[in-house]
Structure 1
Amino acid sequence: MPKIIVLIVDDEPLIRMDLAETAAEAGFVALEAANADEAILLLEAQDDIRILVTDIDMPGSMDGLKLAAAVRRRWPPVVIIVTSGRVLPATSDLPAATTFLGKPYSTRSMSAALRQAASEILPEPGKA
């Protein structure tokens, strides 16, 4: 069974690297992007990304909430986890079926969120 690919989007390199390590230790393949623009390019280039983990506060053309909304519209099967240490978004600010984790979160809670996200991934049509 192929490993699930997680796209991690955070403008803080150390946080992004730590998240990638957490994802790898939990059995996922991690891709990294420093902002929403890089994330969109990766999503357009690689059609097997199944989980998005994004911070809210990021520089660039869109923040993490706008990125999450764009991903939900363009890539509906992608499971989304949004994080922030500064913003506590209202449920109505998050796209449907999005998990929020406040920073600082533990490695254990992120691993659990990734495992939960993996359990929500639906098989692609014709690949059951």
Structure 2
Amino acid sequence: MYGLSVRWSLEGVDPDVAQRLRAYVVGTSLERFSGMPGLRFKTWRMRPGEWFEGTYVWATQEARDGFAATFTAEAAESPGSRIVGAEPVLIEPFEVVAVAAGGEGFAAGPGPGPR
């Protein structure tokens, strides 16, 4: 499997950016990536005030590299960049060595929300 991380810095952004990112992911992005051809799964991760990241795992290197090329060309105009107010600080391909499904099983959908 083939991964791609896209990370934005949240240092110094307005405090409401974290909630706006949550709302965008749950209200729009989750549906867009659910069932996407070539994509095994996508995880959105965030440390409010520090960073926000999309982590993608693709079935093939071609699927990953094609998405990465398209995204990189449009990164400045992506919804994440518009919400954060800046381009990603990292767009990084990686190798997925293994994935283990835990005893609780794999769950898709929104996470716990703000603390």
TM-score, length-scaled by structure 2: 0.31
Hey, which of these two has a bigger chunk of strand by percent? Answer: 2
Higher helix share: 1
TM-score, normalized by length of structure 1?
0.29
- State which structure, 1 or 2, has the greater radius of gyration over its C-alpha atoms: 2
